[in-house]
Structure 1
Amino acid sequence: MTRRSCWRPRAPVSDGGGAKPDVTITGMGMVTSGGIGVKQSWEAVLRGEGTATTDPALEGLDVTMSCRAEDFDGKEQLGRRARKLDRFVQLTLVAAKEAIEDAGLDPESWDGARIGVVIGCGMGGAPTWEQEHSVLLERGHDRVSPHLIPRMIPNMAAGHVAMEFDAHGPNFCTATACASGATAIGSALDLLRLDRCDLVIAGGTESGITPLSIAGFANMTALSGRVDDPAAASRPFDSDRDGFVAGEAAGVVILERARDADARAVRRYADVAGYGASADGHHVTAPHPEGAGGEGALRAALADADLSASDVDHVNAHGTSTPLNDLSESRMISRVMPHGPSVTSTKGVTGHALGGAGAIEAIFSGLTIHHNTVPPTANLENQDPEIEIDVVGGAPRETDVDVVISDSFGFGGQNAVLALTSPR
């Protein structure tokens, strides 16, 4: 396929009077522990049932459960080339393909120089790293795979998407721990507003469930110890929460300027109206106890979207099921939005997909707007009395939803918040 030049002179983009152009989601793709594809994953979160199971790969550890995408087989989805790709890349390629098709796009006909790719990833190819380290110790340095580096580095998800779909515009990986996927979507929003691209394939991915990473999380007491009842282990905002359950997932959206989407006469799920980012500057792993950094990102996202806090109908919370995060986040929500928007955490179903979490939760937020349906928070049996917010539990809530906030917070105190709105 012939590549076009990556540079062309263009007039600054605006919708009149210097206003920022509306940016919209026209395609979605997803692989989660709830299923392969957006439909299966959305139905899983609406059921509100935890997907965590005992994981044979973690046998012998203190924590032996995870939320894997058990139905996903890379070789089945991608053929023989899957063996050269770490699982986090495999997940991304499948999610990206679904999103592109969902948006009604054909990479054979688009101008690849104007197509950007931004994929967030926190850990990269952890399974590859552990596997090849064992080879080094057991069989010697000369037996280490020459594919080690290109399989494991986090930017390869974005790189392979570009190669697969003829996307030659800006291409990079965001790595803000568990905020990575949301940071990627926010960065894509900026690319479109600045006219660096006409369309951006954006999202997040992670497949880091390995004995070493789980041991590390467990030893810092971040994981739930409810190994005798895995499906009930992830319980955001519940009095008996004791940590998160590690998950794997990839979520990808197609972002384009709303006027371009309207010209194509395609469905618009939701607009990405605002993005805010901040740093706690507080602790390497613990959130600020009052959610101060998260508040800064939230207020920045609202300002970017030209919204007030009272406009928010729903919050898709970071809601990890850890004692510290859920309390600090709830305090922030109560303080900034005292009118009491509904709140949910889909991590009760999917577990914590780390670098992929912000992307799949942005998709769930867009679907909440599209369907006017708020998913329930799985395993919410007794809401922590110190958490004074309207957490949706039990069953989906049918209600008008025009504005959703999607929170994503990461180790290092890195915060990313997206404001999504009904298409206008």
Structure 2
Amino acid sequence: MTTATREEQLFRLPDLGEGLTDAEIVEWKVAVGDTVTIDQIVVEVETAKAAVEVPVPYAGTVLRLHAEAGTALGVGEPLITVGAAAPVGAAAPAKVAAPVAEPAAAERYREEEQAGSGNVLIGYGTGHAPAPRRRRRRAATTAATAPAPVAEGQAPRVISPLVRRLARDHGIDLAALAPTGPAGVVLRRDVEEAVARKAPAPAEPAPAAVPDGPVRIPLRGVRKAVADKLSRSRTEIPDATTWVDVDATGLLQAKKALEAAEPGRRVGLLALFARICVAGLRRFPELNAAVDAERREILRFDEVHLGFAAQTDRGLVVPVVRDAHRLTTVRLAAELARLTELARTGNLPPDRLTGGTFTLNNYGVFGVDGSTPIINHPEAALLGVGRIVDKPWVVDGELTVRKVTQLSFSFDHRVCDGGTAGGFLRFVADCVERPAILLADL
């Protein structure tokens, strides 16, 4: 008879990307007692950048989940413990007789209670593996899974912290409840039914009262990351903003010509502005930079990693087009469209949210003309584009109606002076008005 040793493998919260030191557990995909395989998704966590599905590098049986949903963990802290799977032919472990619930069942009911709390966040995936379907535990109708009776005088068992908090908030005595979970486990529905029985009959609606205080909304996830980055930008960067109105009629004509050259191919205005920005940074490399404040050095980059602002249901994010200077206008358009779709569907990898060297913000899509955009720390500059509208414009001494937009340019005054910033903005404006200028750099 072969005796197998039960080995335990502790998996700690891994490094999830540049500058990310912690993450909050959103949802466990497994429970204690489940069997997992190598690279199986076991938990969804939310970082300051995005929500990420984390795979486990071990195979075996889940022995321990080291934190509950809603808990914040630092990189390197214990996440999950996996034990070696039982050897083939080994005797099955004896089950504990009722009314004591097995640990796996208890954990599963903990998961069920948390899933019913309404606090599950649908976030970003890593993009490297499809998200597994969320577990759905249905109560069976067979006698084998029916709630076990609670012996007289036996205290009900409560597994979920949510149930305890719900009972405490509504003044419900858990000991007085008739549990419907296995082995006398009090479920959320037990408490909710008690709350409903306790609630008084609805009275006539009272006049609206003045609220005692404001609604408090915690800064967390993407919103927290945006707040931290913009606050740091305002605190550390001595920024300045300059702007100019430009005639974008020629740029719109160039867009139509590009799309007409190959029917079905779409080249958006954002891609054209991206191409112009890349050309401008080649002429004014001082702006493709960052400042190392501790070492008092300016870091000037050869590669252009172009960030662009994208509005999503989870807030404003800035995907990054890697090596934008190596892409044609058509390939830039395709990459911008791809990253935008990933951001809006919540599948943008965390490494596509960091490492930018310059940012483009098309706030004109919100119907506004201008802005004083805040630089995306630690970058040194940002170009903002307003809406394109019909305005009176003088062309060759004649007043006419043209397609006009306003460009706003914010820059870190530590990396350059106003002459360089003005030169970059003027180059961009000239390219918008006369796109053929770009041919000189090809």
Name which structure has the greater RCO, CA cutoff 8 Å, separation 6+: 1
| TM-score, normalized by the shorter chain, greater than 0.5 | no
Question: Which TM class, normalised by the smaller chain length?
Answer: under 0.3
Give the TM-score normalised by the residue count of structure 1: 0.22
Structure number with higher helix proportion: 1
The structure having more radius of gyration, on CA atoms, is 2
Q: TM-score w.r.t. structure 2 length? A: 0.21
